Amino acid sequence: MFETVLLVTLFVILCIASVSDFKTREVPDFVSFGAIACAFGLRALYSAISWDYLPLLAGILGFIVFYLFGYIMFYTGQWGGGDSKILMAIGAFLGLDLYFENKVFAFFVSLVITGAIYGIVWSFVLAIKNRKSFFSNVKKLFQLKKYIFARRITLLASIFFFLASFFVYSDKVVFVLFMFLAVSSILFFYLFIFVKSVENCCMLKWVEPEVLTEGDWIAKDVVVAGKKICGPKDLGISKIQIKKLMELSLNGKIKKVLLKTGIPFVPSFLLALLFMQLFGNILLKFL
């Protein structure tokens, strides 16, 4: 019963967070921090009622695991702060009992699968909506020397693995592995070009400082009179930086800044939760 309460509560919270992420491209702190507090509150209450510290401990461990993962994703520029905080809440709700069959591991496997599919589908939609600029950007990338060199290297690697696979044909496992490497080597390069083109033509836009919100990612350094105001390395713009940009805009020293918009990724958390409930830890089925 307790597990059901946790899952239903988490489902409702993820629905709310997903709607917010779709509409505003951010999840308010009161939703993410409220979710974390709710998870620990429910677990603490159940631990007190059952006189058992393990439910609360499982929540703390789950929170820590997803905190570390969210921290890495945030500071490598893959996710925004809202995504990372919601993931921490998910860890607290699901809990970690140190067994491989645990929901934390099952959710992580589900997130890898649904997140990849969700990201690719969303990118394809963006590419189709902005197909003129997308194909123009792809053409420009293919003309750059570094990508011409990378394409040749990946092509050679693909040919090598393809030819090598016939020398190990008797070993079916190694043969399949080599064929997989042959295909994935070249596909990885084109997938990189695809993602890079989508980012360049669909996720970068010039905006006025007035529309910026705390945590937005600035794609290009803003330098005025030799002094850097903000840039990509800031890992999200602060309120103080936004105020400074607005002052510079009023004084006519800057007009717009280049903003990097990302994919609303919180809905993939909701999909991963549903996927986990339907199929469990799909990795265990293969093992």
pLDDT at 285 (0 to 100):
64
- The Cα–Cα gap between 114 and 275 comes to 8
Q: What is the pLDDT of residues 93-126, one digit of tens each?
A: 988 875 545 677 888 888 888 888 888 888 888 8
pLDDT at 98 (0 to 100):
57
pLDDT at 82 (0 to 100):
75
Domain extent listing, the chain: 2-98, 128-202, 205-260
Angle of helix 266-279 versus helix 103-129 axis, rounded to 10: 130
pLDDT at 77 (0 to 100):
63
How distant is the alpha carbon of residue 99 from its chain centre?
25
Which pair of tokens denotes residue 147? 């990508």
Q: State which residues of the chain have pLDDT below 70.
A: 76-80, 98-102, 169, 235, 283-287
pLDDT at 15 (0 to 100):
93
Classified as helix, coil or strand, 230 is: strand
The string over 73-98, giving b where at least 16 C-beta atoms fall within 10 Å of a residue's C-beta and e elsewhere, is bbeeeebbbbbbbbbbbbbbbbbbee
Q: Which residues pair with 218 in a beta bridge?
A: 259
pLDDT at 76 (0 to 100):
65
Q: What is the pLDDT of residues 234-285, one digit of tens each?
A: 767 888 888 889 988 888 888 888 888 777 888 888 999 899 888 877 766 6
DSSP 41: H
pLDDT at 100 (0 to 100):
45
